[in-house]
Amino acid sequence: MSLIQVNGISKVYRLGDIDLKALCTVSTKIEQGEFVAIMGPSGSGKSTFMNILGCLDKPTTGQYMLEGIDIGKLDRDELAGIRNKKIGFVFQGFNLLPRTSALENVELPMLYDGIPAKERSEKAAGALKNVGLEGRGGHHPNQLSGGQQQRVAIARALVNNAPIILADEPTGNLDTKTSAEIMELFVKLNTESHITIIIVTHEHDIAAYSKRIIRFLDGCIVSDEEKGIRGQGLENHD
C-alpha cells in the first residue's frame, strides 16, 4: 500500500457560468519516505494538487487514498482529523499565530488532538529542540527572524508525528543562506526520521534537494522523475 495514491483526480471550479479546470485527470503514487518536489509555473495546478494532497480540498472526480483511507468519502471534521494526525503544513508566509509564543504555536496541533497540557509542552519543547530552537519557546513570532519562524512552523508540523510534511514554497520569503538551512533541515528529517516531504517550489536550487520532481503545466503532470540521488537530473530541464 502506498502512502499516497491518487487515481485520476481532477478539480473543476465554477466561476459563474464558466467551468475552470484547475486540474485535469492526474494519477500518481508517493511512497513513505520520499522527498518530492512539485514544480510548475503559477496557474499550472500545483497549488490545487497540494490542497487536495493536504486534505484542505476534495477532488471533483477521481480517488485520493491516504494510507488506504478514501479521502473523498470523509466529511469536514474527519478531514480536519486527518490533517491533524497525518499531515504537517509548512507555508511560505510561516502562518504562525501572532502574539502567541513559539512553544504555544507548536502546541496547537496537540490542542486539537486532546493531549493533556503537560505532555503538550514537553513534546512541543522536544520538537523545537529538534529544529534547533532550544530555549526560544518563549519568544513571540515577531521576536524571531524569518528562518526561525519557519523552523517553528516545521516544529509545529512535526509535533503530532505526522508521516507527511507538505511545504508550500517554504523558502519563498527567505534569503538564500537561510533557505539552504531550512532545506537542510528537511533533508535531515527525511533521512533521519523517514518523514515523507512534499515541497511545492518554482526554484530549481530548492527542488535540487529532492529525490523526485513532479512537473505540472496547465493542470497536468508533464514529467515525473526519480533521481535516486539528490541534486541530479535538473540540468536536462533548464
Partner 1 sequence: MINLPATLKISLRALRVNKMRSALTMLGIIIGVSAVIAMLAVGTGASRQIEEQMSSMGSNLLIVVPGATTSGGVRMGAGTQSTLTLADAEAIKRECPAVEEVGPNLTGVAQVVYSNMNWSTGVVGTTPGMLIVRDWTLSSGKPFTEQDVKSATKVCLLGQVVVDNLFGDTDPVGKIIRIKNVPFTVLGVLGKKGQSATGQDQDDTVYIPVTTAQKKVFGTAFPGMIRSMMVKARGAEYLADAEKQINELLRQRHRIGPKQDADFTVRNLTQMMQAREESTKVMTLLLGAIASVSLLVGGIGIMNIMLVSVTERTREIGIRMAIGAKTWDIRLQFIIEALTLSLIGGLAGIIIGVTGSEILSALFGWPTIVSPLSILMSFSFSGLVGIFFGFYPAYKASLLNPIDALRYE
Q: Is 74 a residue that touches partner 1 (CB under 8 A)? A: no
Give the whole-angstrom CA distance, residue 94 versus residue 213. 23
Give the whole-angstrom CA distance, residue 164 versus residue 160. 11
**Rg, C-alpha atoms of the chain:** 18
Contact 106, 155 (CB under 8 A): yes
For partner 1, the binding residues in 162-201 under the rule CB under 8 A are: none
Pairing of strands 69-70, 87-90: unpaired
CA distances to 50, 58, 175 from 29, rounded to whole Å, are 14, 17, 32
Q: Is 33 a residue that touches partner 1 (CB under 8 A)? A: no
Binding residue for partner 1, selected from 19, 31, 113, 134, defined by CB under 8 A: 113
Task: Name the minimum Å distance from CB 185 to partner 1.
Answer: 19
Specify the stretch interacting with partner 1 by CB under 8 A; choose among 15-23, 112-120, 121-129, 195-203.
Answer: 112-120
Q: Is 100 a residue that touches partner 1 (CB under 8 A)? A: yes
C-alpha cell of 71?
A: 479521502
Binding residue for partner 1, selected from 25, 95, 121, 173, defined by CB under 8 A: 95
Q: Which residues bind partner 1 (CB under 8 A)?
A: 51, 54, 56-57, 76-77, 80-81, 83-85, 89, 91, 95-100, 108-109, 111-114, 117, 156, 160
